[in-house]
Amino acid sequence: MRKVKRYLQILLAVTVLLVGLVVIFEDKNASTTIKDLEEETTSANTSNKKEETKKKKMTVYIDPGHGEIDAGTISYKGTYEKDINLVIAKQVGKILQAKDVNVVYSRTTDEIYSEIEADDMQHRIDESKEVKATYVVSIHCNASDDGTRTGVEAFTNTEDDKAMALSTSIMKELEALKYTNSNGIIDGTNLLHMISFAKVPTTLVELGYIDTEHDGKYIMSKVGQNAIAKAIANGVLNELKKAE
């Protein structure tokens, strides 16, 4: 009988020990699980933040005016406007891309969507909306009938605050280059398809009158094109910062 009691006592002690060990082990397991969960949540938050940053990357639609059969105006040296527009537009795009802006071009070669001007313009407008662009910057060079006009100007919808702010910002930068006079910001809603039917805040900059040597020489020079592209990009970037 005593032996049995002793045996029971040992059995009880062993059981208590085992139960104790199981509790400690379970506890450790539980704390590891919580830590794991915490880590998972943290990594989920980080990837969420990354997603947000991705979403916040803004898109600018850059439209080098004209193309293909539509040469635009002709410079005093015989250069086509469409070619000058494309060179400068690509430079603007590169600067913006370097600043983490998503850039979509209406064209990157001497090709157009349609030879019917209105269809081609509308395609550019629709595309800018499709890619969810924050702004549209259409780049052009001008010429006058009598070849006497000079100056930089921007066409926009003057009733659209965002488009006005964008135009003002770009014009300020271009005017600071002082390569020509400024003709200011002009309401283009009844003049230009790109402005009349714009679905996104749009500015159409006319960099100058390339049929004159006064404007054309600078606009067609490497130095001039670099400075103009930088000015346009800075004008856009200043407004994008506000839109963030």
Residues of this chain that bind Zn ion (CB under 5 A): 65, 72, 140
Q: Which one, 72 or 208, has the nearer CB to Zn ion?
A: 72
Q: Which one, 192 or 231, has the nearer CB to Zn ion?
A: 192
Chain-centroid distance, C-alpha 118: 25
**Please, are residues 77 and 216 in contact by the beta-carbon 8 Å criterion?**
yes
**141 Cβ partners below 8 Å, 6+ apart?**
65, 72, 73, 75, 81, 84, 85, 206, 207, 208, 209, 210, 219
Q: Which one, 67 or 72, has the nearer CB to Zn ion?
A: 72
Select from 164, 163, 166, 182 the least CA-distant residue to 174. Answer: 182
Query: What is the CB neighbour count within 10 angstroms for residue 236?
Result: 27
> Rounded CA gap, 171 and 34, in Å?
58
Q: Which one, 140 or 214, has the nearer CB to Zn ion?
A: 140
Chain-centroid distance, C-alpha 56: 10
**Please, are residues 129 and 61 in contact by the beta-carbon 8 Å criterion?**
no
Least Å from the CB of residue 70 to Zn ion: 9
> Rounded CA gap, 76 and 217, in Å?
9
Tell me the chain's radius of gyration from C-alpha atoms. 32
Q: Find the residue with minimal CB distance to Zn ion.
A: 140
Least Å from the CB of residue 50 to Zn ion: 41
Least Å from the CB of residue 81 to Zn ion: 5
Least Å from the CB of residue 66 to Zn ion: 6
Q: Which one, 82 or 165, has the nearer CB to Zn ion?
A: 82
> How does strand 152-156 pair with strand 202-209?
antiparallel
Least Å from the CB of residue 112 to Zn ion: 13
Least Å from the CB of residue 226 to Zn ion: 21
Least Å from the CB of residue 173 to Zn ion: 20
Q: Which one, 70 or 237, has the nearer CB to Zn ion?
A: 70
Q: Which one, 65 or 224, has the nearer CB to Zn ion?
A: 65
